[in-house]
Chains A and B, each alone.
Chain A
Amino acid sequence: MSGLSFSSQKDNSESSGREGGWQKRSSAQTPFEETIISIPEAAGIAWASYRPEKLEGYSLLTQRSPEIIETDFQPEINDRTDKILSLLKELKEDLSNPVEAESIFSNILQYHRELWDLRSHKEKSFAELLVTLESAIKYYDVSELTLQKVEMLIQIFSELKQASLKSDFPKMARKDLRKVGFDLMRPILGVPEKFSDILKKLESND
């Protein structure tokens, strides 16, 4: 046995009321304990950043507290969102051109994917809204698009720029998307028809 234990009874009795995790340095420490306790410092983690009360609801090192979110990742999120918004505005002009519209959609989905990768730095409703938007736009048939639908997408995508998205916003967004005619049940159909058609064509060519 290595003897390395981070939460022995002795450590707990000497701690300053901290529960679990790393123990605060005390004056009665042995050199051995000193070595253990210095590990977080060596790793560059400041005491203040892992106070249990601050970590409540977040898992250590995978998600950050709200104040860090705003300063670190919101500009990146805003940047991707702005790119999507400008593409959607372009789409309004190109609704009658399915080739152009298809290309705009591919780019929107690429930025959507980048926003999805940033989800762990935001609140739960951010990821929820992205899934809603994905079920509305992924494989969407551009020939079914209307100006009203694009306007609705612009309105909903802009909300991603909020520092903190309201928890009930995704539900409201789903309602609005259904109202203008988006089909949020597409995922249940699996591979959309246009891709099945392509597959059939490829099979017949074989």
Chain B
Amino acid sequence: MTKGALFLETSIQIARRFHHPKERTRIEANFKDSPVLLTSSYVKMEYLRRVIGDLIYLYQVATRVGNFGEILWCIQKLDLYQRRKLQTNLQGIGTFFYSSLGNDTSEVLEKLKIWLKQTIDDSQDMFDELVDSISDETCCEKARNFPQKNGETYSGFGRCKGQQKQCKIDEFFSANLSAFKEIVDALKALPPEEKDEELNKMEEILEKALQHPKNMLDYKNCWKCGDAIISVECPAKALLLTLNVKHYKVLMPAIEKKILLMQDASEIKEEAKIEKS
């Protein structure tokens, strides 16, 4: 049976590039029978903010230190969450480029800098290559212009504030006011034990924005409502694929849209066998 178009959410796009090959196979097994893969510029912004921002940090540290160990020392000073995330990436890349033929860590540092720079430079292409089409209703400026080179290094991800409006998130919000209202109602109706901190914050911000859509021009509001924005961006006829089922199983039905529950690759193979027989 043909599933129709699939709309890929941020967690899926990140996993398809940065997760283990086994996980990628599991995800891509769900694309069977889906003729078109879609996503949006807002998803692209989230992908760049969550993944490429970290790689830029590592690159910036790598360019100013003298050896591999010093980067680890710099990371130690970050908070626990950031530290764990960056250290895992760094150790992975370090182990990969380490060669038993030479124990010189400056060589690992040299390769690390080249590899990070290449991955950062390719980040826009690497996202675009994974889908057939990218919608751009929010006209997210970060999705278009990040990462930005600044000589031999890159500018940080930065913030977005209403004073220097560079996107159309407020217009997108106003144009889809009724959908966002449905989402607020669904969040309100949810029992407190089923709402995490993120959903509580989302409800609070969206409720205020229903009266003042321009509030969404502030990154503090916009980024905290990402899942709701992506739900509204997903075309009515497409199914949304995500690893964050917990949030989307509340948001999507509220606006009469569907999510595709992830299938295990082995289940899909079994299904194919049954179909054949």
Chain B 229-245 interface residues, beta-carbon cutoff 8 Å to A: none
- Contact between A193 and B22, CB atoms less than 8 A apart: yes
- Contact between A185 and B17, CB atoms less than 8 A apart: yes
Is B219 on the interface with A (CB-CB < 8 A)?
A: no
- Contact between A128 and B118, CB atoms less than 8 A apart: yes
| Given A132-B118, A178-B126, CB of A190 within 8 Å of CB of B97 | no
How many chain A residues touch the partner (CB < 8 A)? 25
- Contact between B91 and A135, CB atoms less than 8 A apart: no
- Contact between A131 and B118, CB atoms less than 8 A apart: yes
Binary flags per residue of A128-163, CB closer than 8 Å to B gives 1, else 0? 100110110011000000000000000000000000
- Contact between B101 and A131, CB atoms less than 8 A apart: no
- Contact between B115 and A186, CB atoms less than 8 A apart: no
Is B21 on the interface with A (CB-CB < 8 A)?
A: yes
Is A54 on the interface with B (CB-CB < 8 A)?
A: no
Contacts of B115 in A (CB 8 A): 131, 135, 187
Is B121 on the interface with A (CB-CB < 8 A)?
A: yes
Query: Within the assembled complex, what's the spacing in Å between the Cα atoms of A74 and B106?
Result: 25
Query: Within the assembled complex, what's the spacing in Å between the Cα atoms of A131 and B92?
Result: 15
- Contact between A131 and B111, CB atoms less than 8 A apart: yes
**How far in angstroms is the closest Cβ of chain B from A111?**
12
Across the two chains, which residue of chain A brings its CB closest to B116? Answer: A187
CB < 8 Å: which of A179, A184, A187 contacts B92? A187
Is A171 on the interface with B (CB-CB < 8 A)?
A: yes
Is B125 on the interface with A (CB-CB < 8 A)?
A: yes
Across the two chains, which residue of chain A brings its CB closest to B51? Answer: A188
Is A200 on the interface with B (CB-CB < 8 A)?
A: no
CB < 8 Å: which of B20, B110, B114 contacts A189? B20
Contacts of A178 in B (CB 8 A): 126, 129
CB < 8 Å: which of A170, A189, A191, A193 contacts B118? A170
- Contact between A171 and B20, CB atoms less than 8 A apart: no
- Contact between A138 and B96, CB atoms less than 8 A apart: yes
Binary flags per residue of B99-124, CB closer than 8 Å to A gives 1, else 0? 10100000000110011001101100
- Contact between A190 and B93, CB atoms less than 8 A apart: yes
Is B95 on the interface with A (CB-CB < 8 A)?
A: yes
Is B135 on the interface with A (CB-CB < 8 A)?
A: no
Is A175 on the interface with B (CB-CB < 8 A)?
A: yes
Contacts of B95 in A (CB 8 A): 190-191
Query: Within the assembled complex, what's the spacing in Å between the Cα atoms of A8 and B236?
Result: 78
Contacts of A191 in B (CB 8 A): 92, 95-96
Is A91 on the interface with B (CB-CB < 8 A)?
A: no
- Contact between A171 and B122, CB atoms less than 8 A apart: yes
Contacts of A134 in B (CB 8 A): 97, 111
Contacts of B18 in A (CB 8 A): 185, 188
Is A24 on the interface with B (CB-CB < 8 A)?
A: no
- Contact between B20 and A193, CB atoms less than 8 A apart: yes
- Contact between B97 and A187, CB atoms less than 8 A apart: yes
Is B178 on the interface with A (CB-CB < 8 A)?
A: no
Binary flags per residue of A73-90, CB closer than 8 Å to B gives 1, else 0? 000000000000000000
Is A174 on the interface with B (CB-CB < 8 A)?
A: yes
| Given A131-B111, A134-B111, CB of A188 within 8 Å of CB of B22 | no
Is A115 on the interface with B (CB-CB < 8 A)?
A: no
| Given A132-B118, A171-B122, CB of A189 within 8 Å of CB of B99 | no
Query: Within the assembled complex, what's the spacing in Å between the Cα atoms of A82 and B48?
Result: 39
Contacts of A190 in B (CB 8 A): 91-96
Query: Within the assembled complex, what's the spacing in Å between the Cα atoms of A188 and B118?
Result: 13
Query: Within the assembled complex, what's the spacing in Å between the Cα atoms of A13 and B94?
Result: 50
Across the two chains, which residue of chain A brings its CB closest to B97? Answer: A187
Contacts of B99 in A (CB 8 A): 113
Contacts of A131 in B (CB 8 A): 111, 114-115, 118
Is A108 on the interface with B (CB-CB < 8 A)?
A: no
Contacts of B20 in A (CB 8 A): 189, 193
Contacts of B17 in A (CB 8 A): 185
- Contact between A139 and B96, CB atoms less than 8 A apart: yes
Can you report 17 A-B residue pairs in the complex whose CB atoms are below 8 A from each other?
A127-B110, A131-B115, A134-B97, A138-B96, A174-B122, A175-B122, A184-B119, A185-B119, A187-B92, A187-B93, A187-B96, A187-B115, A189-B21, A190-B95, A190-B96, A191-B92, A191-B96
Where the two chains meet, the residues of A that have a C-beta atom closer than 8 Å to any C-beta of B are: 113, 127-128, 131-132, 134-135, 138-139, 170-171, 174-175, 178-179, 183-191, 193
